[in-house]
Amino acid sequence: MTSRAAYVVGAFEHPARSLPGRSVASVHAEVAHGALRDAGLNFSDVDAYFCAGDAPGFGAISMAEYLGIRPRYTDSTETGGSAPIAHLGHAAAAIADGRCDVALVTLAGLPRQSTSRTFRLEYPEGLEAPEDEFEQPFGATTPALYALAARRHMYEYGTTSADLAAVKVAASRHAAVNPNARLRNEVTVEEVLESAMIADPLHKLDCCVVTDGGGAVVVVAEEIARSLPRTAVRVLGYGEASPHGSGGDVPLTSVGAQLSGPRAFERAGVRPADIKYASIYDSYTITVLLTLEGLGFCEPGQAGRFVREGALVAPYGRLPVNTDGGGLSNNHPANRGGITKIIEAVRQIRGEANPEVQIPNCDLAVAHGTGGWLTTRAGAATVVLGGVG
């Protein structure tokens, strides 16, 4: 991907899923400390800092002061749930250009402590989105927008609610062996279909969990990675995209993965068939189906059959996905789960995932994030990881 290689040397996921009495800034600090400790580095080593809209105050500037770091490079790219993966790609590029040597990426949030939870499309106070007056009056909630994509996929390809449910079943099996998972109970297809309808055809168990917490990763230049005792995971390729619905001109089943995925694979010099493990953003079960197709792991319309046949289940499925339980069962911190996708991919390549879901000889993984909202406007970011050093 670059002339000066970048490696992930530290990764940390907050173990808690509910954090009363904390501030968002303090959770950012906790996960930052955890990732640096994992890497064998200190805050004084950090010369680049990355965060998104979940960071309080004036973004990277406020947080850098709070964390006690003096970065020579900052990035506050905001693409929703895909932002941490975008940050990882941007950090690798900055390292390649010599703009920094040690990059820290953090994400944190406390949505479970909010007094008013909503699934409406909302933006920071004071910002008026250009689409608000056209969409808000008609109930453009997040579940409803994803339900449109699900219903269209069903219409075009014969996908069923049971196919969607199979994604949740796989996630629940993985979460059952994760002691930190928000939901550790295994579920069946029938139980998913019997759960409350949220936005037809999406049931309650088709939707991700809501959790406090966060995570962080540390990305460094190759010469620094070689000096550290921890296993380093190389950033092999990266791609991003900011697709949108173009007022209905783009099919409802189109996703950014169709653009970001090929770019990441090309830069890494690999094909989808080479991938041993995939961390795929799973805000809803339909997100996973569409991403599997978008990244090229399945032909269009075939993802339902793919998951129904057990392909996602670790350790011996055709393509194990979200072996930590994913956003559907484990963790969706700050209502944007991209950071956890990187962390579990790093665990798998290091051989440090839970033994019951560790994929044998996992030397190549992909992490993909979806931000924003399917069927309207979204951010997408894909990173290929491997090359343990």
* CATH code of the domain covering residue 337: 3.40.47.10
| Claim to verify: residue 228 and residue 261 sit in the same structural domain | no
**CA distance linking residue 96 with residue 342, whole number of Å:** 20
Residue 87 in 3-state DSSP? helix
Of 372, 328, 332, the C-alpha closest to 202 is 328
This prediction's pTM: 0.94
Residue bearing tokens 């968002």: 24
Residue bearing tokens 């930052």: 32
| Claim to verify: residue 164 and residue 248 sit in the same structural domain | yes
| Claim to verify: residue 48 and residue 183 sit in the same structural domain | no
Evaluate whether residue 120 is within a structural domain: no
**CA distance linking residue 179 with residue 282, whole number of Å:** 20
| Claim to verify: residue 182 and residue 300 sit in the same structural domain | yes
Helix then strand then coil, in percent of the chain rounded to 5, is 40, 20, 40
| Claim to verify: residue 85 and residue 153 sit in the same structural domain | no
Instruction: Tell me the pairing of strands 73-75 and 48-50.
Output: parallel
| Claim to verify: residue 165 and residue 16 sit in the same structural domain | no
In order along the chain (389 residues), what is the average pLDDT of each group of 10 residues?
A: 84 97 96 98 98 93 96 95 97 96 97 66 60 76 93 97 98 98 98 98 98 98 95 97 76 92 97 98 98 97 96 97 98 93 98 97 97 88 89
**CA distance linking residue 366 with residue 95, whole number of Å:** 20
Evaluate whether residue 119 is within a structural domain: no
| Claim to verify: residue 228 and residue 278 sit in the same structural domain | no
| Claim to verify: residue 243 and residue 216 sit in the same structural domain | no
The whole domain housing 267 covers 141-208+236-387
Evaluate whether residue 83 is within a structural domain: yes
Evaluate whether residue 128 is within a structural domain: no
| Claim to verify: residue 153 and residue 270 sit in the same structural domain | yes
Evaluate whether residue 126 is within a structural domain: no
Domain tally, the chain: 2
| Claim to verify: residue 343 and residue 373 sit in the same structural domain | yes
Evaluate whether residue 118 is within a structural domain: no
The pLDDT of residue 243 is 81
| Claim to verify: residue 83 and residue 196 sit in the same structural domain | no
Of 152, 183, 384, 178, the C-alpha closest to 252 is 152
Evaluate whether residue 1 is within a structural domain: no
Type of residue numbered 362: C
| Claim to verify: residue 325 and residue 225 sit in the same structural domain | no
The pLDDT of residue 115 is 55
